[in-house]
Homo-oligomer: A and B are copies of this chain.
Amino acid sequence: MLYNATNPILSGDKWGYIMISGSYILFSLVAALFALAFAMILTKRVLKADPGNAEMQKISNATREGAMTYLKRQYMAIIYFTIFMIMVLTIIGPETVIAFALGAGLSAFAGFIGLNIATKANVRTAEGARQGLNKGLRIAFSSGAVMGLSVVGLGLLGLSIMFIFLSAAFDNDLEQVTTVIAGFGLGASSIALFARVGGGIFTKAADVGADLVGKVEAGIPEDDPRNPATIADNVGDNVGDVAGMGADLYESYVGSIIASMALGYVAFRHGDLPIEAILLPMVIAAVGIFSSIIGTFFVRTGERADQSELLLALRKGIYLSAVLVTVFSLLAVFFILGEAHIPVFGAIFAGLVAGIIIGISTEYYTSDTYTPTRELARTSQTGAGPTIINGLSIGMKSTMFPMITVGAAILTAYYFAGLYGIAISAVGMLSTLGITLATDAYGPVADNAGGIAEMAHMDKSVRKRTDALDSLGNTTAATGKGFAIGSAALTALALTVAYMDAAGITDISLTDPSVIVGLFLGGMLSFIFCAMTMQAVGRAASEIVEEVRRQFREIKGLMEGTAEPDYARCVDISTKSALREMILPGLTAVVVPVVVGLLLGPYALGGLLIGALVTGFLMAVMMANAGGAWDNAKKYIEVGHYGGKGSMPHKAAVVGDTVGDPFKDTSGPSLNILLKLMSIVSLVFAAFIVQNTIAG
């Protein structure tokens, strides 16, 4: 037991305290910097790969420029938002402002890194796939790993720095430190709001817009270079699935650590291990980084690999990391908290296992190798109506495993380590994020590579290989979505518990009518938020439709291939509408908790957070899985079942997919943000609300 000592705070041993905390923080810093260094090495490796011929590069550059334009605009919007938030946060304190700025800044930086590498890796993946499947996989996966490792590296780096800064600022007052560090999470959440909601609206507006006019009206294939919205569609894949997903998980990652710190302090403050309990989550995250990096080395496959072997290659990496993190966490708990607190490991392990089970459940409900999606494809023979009903039913039924799994994880974690256990189980679930996010962020790169292969008229064998990579990407994306939702739910719960503690309400009873009303309002917010984001996609898509129609009409020679469409204009329109449309749902998420807290009191606010959590979690799972099932049922028909492309069942399946698009890529994922953002807003403003509420 290296660092186990009697509580140096209680004994007034300041230097003992600094030594103990210093060791853990140092370890976290090393892990974080190691992750970033490794991400840099991978970046160089990806960039060294052959970027293909001029035509390919031209297409890739257009996507890249579009993505960067979007990012620039988004960051401008974020700056305004940040100024507003900083003004508001001064009522909490200057340290919170600094924490907020750092949390937001690092998240934005991680998004930039991910988007940068993804838009450079796509063309290299296409060129790599020309040379061989394994080469394509390595490049795409490396690009994903850059994103994954940047997220965890910057997350842990930022938290380590904040901890040092706040310890100094508050003279090692752990209560202050663990309270104010929540500002860092609020910063992360704010960026996630923009990246996930704005990105989600962008990607689906471009996608739907491109399809409606291109495929349906003009009758040209997907990814056809004559379609003015095709670059916007590619950009959307990157800003939605890479930057959006990354920011979402960055938020969960730092949120779960922050909640564990706060609850670790609460649980151990009167014992002799407060600093150990507070820093354990950072150490778990650190060992998770090392485990993830080791795991990435095992992602490779033979040249003639079929899809299941490709999947196996990715799985090998993930499962190996999970095993490693299990062993390391056990050691960490043993050496840091000591033998008596070994049960804390049970909580971490429960979270880790829950994450894996939710991933498997998502795959079952959305992959065309299993009954639900196949049944859905069969239903499409009876028309669009039954396809919608059955898809919604699948989505609703698919909530069973995730809810029960997370429920079991909560009970297990609590059994082993109380409320602290619930928070640290979320850290356990997210500990292998470095590699799980890599397998996830790899998908859009493969997808884009396929688009480039199509647009640059590369050999059919290339498209076939990128399709194999992409199809795999769809499976891992589905699993990743389940994982993102599960971790968001657990993180939001942990943050909510931390909020309750910060507000000093240990007992928030269901027999209190304001709590019931809070639950009603929270559930309602999830529904309203969904409706707002779905309708936002509809409005934004119709603007793209107008523009594409205009270009087809006005640009002469476009359809004949003699003139070029104005790609940039579609990107521009999507950007503007995405940023405009996210204002209302975004403001709702930030403002409503504070208003409810001030008007109905902190108890009602607790109810609101839990109500939003229960309903939002259900809706997020339902939407992700229904959307995934519709998507894959359509693809299942497209490969030749039930009449294939253009048949009546296919038309019905396309209706399903149209509904599923905003479900799975906009509204569903945005709910993750809603839950976490509302709970961290409440946590940060807890004391303010308690002091200023007008409720009795």
A527 neighbours in B (Cβ, 8 Å): 396-397, 399, 618, 622
One of B212, B403, B510 near A510 (C-beta < 8 A): B510
One of B408, B524, B607, B610 near A403 (C-beta < 8 A): B524
Q: Is the CB of B386 within 8 A of A528?
A: no
Q: Is the CB of B519 within 8 A of A658?
A: no
Residue of B nearest to A506 (CB): B511
A390 neighbours in B (Cβ, 8 Å): 535, 538
One of B384, B393, B523, B534 near A384 (C-beta < 8 A): B384
Q: Is the CB of A396 within 8 A of B509?
A: no
A385-B523 in contact given A392-B534, A517-B411, A611-B614 (Cβ < 8 Å): no
Question: A206: CB under 8 A from chain B?
Answer: no
Chain A 377-417: CB-based contact to B (< 8 A → 1; otherwise 0): 00100111110111011101101100110111011011000
One of B497, B522, B606, B658 near A383 (C-beta < 8 A): B658
Say whether chain A's binding surface is mostly helix, strand, loop, or mixed. helix
A542 neighbours in B (Cβ, 8 Å): 382
A–B pairs, 10, beta carbons within 8 Å: A389-B659, A393-B530, A403-B521, A406-B520, A407-B521, A419-B513, A493-B516, A520-B617, A523-B617, A614-B615
Chain A 515-555: CB-based contact to B (< 8 A → 1; otherwise 0): 11101111110011011001101100010000000000000
Q: Within the complex, what minimum Cβ distance (angstroms) separates A260 from chain B?
A: 16
A506 neighbours in B (Cβ, 8 Å): 509, 511
A530 neighbours in B (Cβ, 8 Å): 393, 396
Residue of B nearest to A410 (CB): B513
Chain A 650-661: CB-based contact to B (< 8 A → 1; otherwise 0): 000011011100
Chain A 478-495: CB-based contact to B (< 8 A → 1; otherwise 0): 000000000000000100
Q: Is the CB of A403 within 8 A of B655?
A: no
Question: A422: CB under 8 A from chain B?
Answer: yes
Question: A264: CB under 8 A from chain B?
Answer: no
Q: Within the complex, what minimum Cβ distance (angstroms) separates A278 from chain B?
A: 20
Can you add 13 more A-B contacts, CB < 8 Å, to A407-B520, A523-B617?
A: A379-B538, A385-B658, A389-B534, A389-B538, A392-B531, A396-B527, A406-B520, A414-B513, A507-B507, A519-B610, A522-B614, A527-B618, A614-B614
A382 neighbours in B (Cβ, 8 Å): 212, 542
Give Cα A397–Cα B528 distance, bound, in whole angstroms: 5
Question: A473: CB under 8 A from chain B?
Answer: no
Q: Which of A493, A497, A510, A658 has the most CB of B within 10 A?
A: A510
Chain A, interface residues (CB within 8 Å), range: 35 or more
Q: Is the CB of A411 within 8 A of B514?
A: yes
Question: A500: CB under 8 A from chain B?
Answer: yes
Residue of B nearest to A651 (CB): B384
Question: A593: CB under 8 A from chain B?
Answer: no
One of B523, B610, B659 near A388 (C-beta < 8 A): B659
Question: A41: CB under 8 A from chain B?
Answer: no
A535 neighbours in B (Cβ, 8 Å): 389-390, 393
Question: A662: CB under 8 A from chain B?
Answer: yes
Q: Is the CB of A510 within 8 A of B516?
A: no
Which A602-659 residues sit within 8 Å CB-CB of chain B?
606-607, 610-611, 614-615, 617-618, 622, 654-655, 657-659
A519 neighbours in B (Cβ, 8 Å): 610, 614
Question: A508: CB under 8 A from chain B?
Answer: yes
A388-B511 in contact given A400-B528, A520-B614 (Cβ < 8 Å): no
Q: Within the complex, what minimum Cβ distance (angstroms) separates A199 from chain B?
A: 19
Q: Within the complex, what minimum Cβ distance (angstroms) separates A129 from chain B?
A: 32
Q: Is the CB of B528 within 8 A of A410?
A: no
Give Cα A247–Cα B77 distance, bound, in whole angstroms: 55
Give Cα A27–Cα B227 distance, bound, in whole angstroms: 77
Give Cα A658–Cα B655 distance, bound, in whole angstroms: 13
Residue of B nearest to A657 (CB): B385
